[in-house]
Structure 1
Amino acid sequence: MASLIGIIILNYFSGKETLKLYQKIESFQDESLRMLVVDNSADAAENELLRSSIPSENLLLASRNLGYAGGNNVGIKELMRRKEIKSIVLLNPDIELNENIFHTLNTSLLKEKSLAAIGPRLCLKGERNKIFSDGGLLHFNRFYYPGHLHAKKNVLEVISHGLNSDIGYVNGSFFMIRVSALEAIGLLKEKFFLYFEETEWCHRAKTLGWQVASDTTVTAYQDISNNGIVYEYYMTRNHFLFHYLYYKKGLPRLALHYFKHVLICVFKQEIDSSKKWPFLLARIKGIVKGLMNS
């Protein structure tokens, strides 16, 4: 039997988007794709919405919100039991894609034996020629804070060379992983819960001799993320967790950097106080929790 591609759509109170994506992929009528929806909502109405259109064998309902890492791990473990599946794709519900994307990326992934994971170029739904990411970056001069290659550039400004393994990580909104790499590297770290988990997994893979890559010959589209106080808390906290795992000696400098930034924001008069204080409290909480868990 030819190798199959497993697909996980992680849902958290985005049932309509999840169903739209599920039905879009289903419309491809591709027998090599095996879809699984994991619902992190733990909500009766959301569960029922998904049950109404998704067969029970393709739907896993979590009893509580397990986060990005935990929810996807549930799906990954289920798909890894099916030995004919050689790669697994993690998708956010807002992703827009075409039917060729899975096989194009899968061919590149399985052809390059050292590749643990691969992702497409990501552009914005509302501005389809504007790049969101050509692969994730870890900025050494910013304490390994994550960023995006070619972010906000027009596609016409960028020369695309196809496969690029000179990146830090594959973006979690479309994250194709080799199953044998998962077996060697392990699952996503659930301690991160939300944000930074794909960054850590890819970095872990690279420390073990694997590569990760983006392929700019194929494009998926996503919405602009709404970075609120939940984002601020988890990105701050998880930045410390990441440092603890890989750059422990840099933790004091990282803490100093964050506290300096907090103080600067406190005294900036031009920032609307109704927005400033929730943001600062989320960041301070993230710093404290990050240091406590490190």
Structure 2
Amino acid sequence: MNLPDLNLLIALNALLAEGSVAKAAKRLHLSPSAMSRALARLRETLGDPLLVRAGRGMVPTPRALVIREQVGQLVQGAEMVLRPASRLDLTQLKRTFAIRASDGFAETFGPALLEHLGQAAPQVRLRFMQKPNKDSTPLRDGIIDLEIGVVGESEAPELRVQKLFKDQFVAVVQPRHALAQDVITPERYAAARHIVVSRRGFEKSRIDDALLGLGLQRQVETIVDSFATALALARRTNLVATVPARHTAGLQDGLVVLALPISLPDLTISMLWHPRLDADLAHRWLRQCLRVVCGEPPGEAVSGAS
């Protein structure tokens, strides 16, 4: 099947609108001879002269009059499709965004994010999803729109990444815990009974490496796979949960939060998305909303995006 030369539609629209080869050529920034050749091809393709001489000018044939409006609409529609999107009507936006994040993110940032979205786009919904691993397949397959967390070495290299905020580990205990009653030292921290958070079931982490450098070793009582579970256990037991401060702030009500007596590097919490959504106006707006809601609180330094 031979496909028609769609470039001829542009020439045909100009010819029918202007009723003149010279004016159509000027409109499309072509030479009169080039436009004459285009008219000849159009006549051959459509089997109709389209424009015929009438005195010193040209007049459209009946066929040209019939198709003139349709051709104009086709060209206008093609221009709209090929033009970069420049406007987003949030009041009319109907979309559900899927965000995958660790436990605690929805509780901590969800209320403010939902309020922020709802004020501008009342028909937008959020779907928060559990984060069982760092597999990038859901982003690649379009199952999720955004992922929130610490960027790991296993992330797909093509993903877009932007920093949201920095976080620090803190020790969280119930109010009657011994660590909440006095100054916390490395020795007292290590001697307490601990909850370890590890999706893979690992007992050791950078916390243990820091303690080992001081000649200390903490007593691990249990291993869980989420910060939410760790905090729930800390609330009902005499165990210590060591968790990211801001990331789990929504789960810390009624608990005592203590600065760690050991030095650990900050965590950089970022959002990740697939490049196919990079230019999507609605997705850009969602990312901006997350930057506003998750921005560094007053008194904390804000650095550039990753």
Instruction: Please confirm whether the aligned pair reaches a TM-score higher than 0.5, indicating the same fold.
Output: no
Give the TM-score, by structure 2 length: 0.20
Give the TM-score, by structure 1 length: 0.21
Give the number of the structure whose alpha-carbon radius of gyration is greater: 2
**Structure showing greater relative contact order (alpha-carbon pairs closer than 8 Å, 6 or more residues apart):** 2
Is the helix fraction higher in 1 or 2? 1
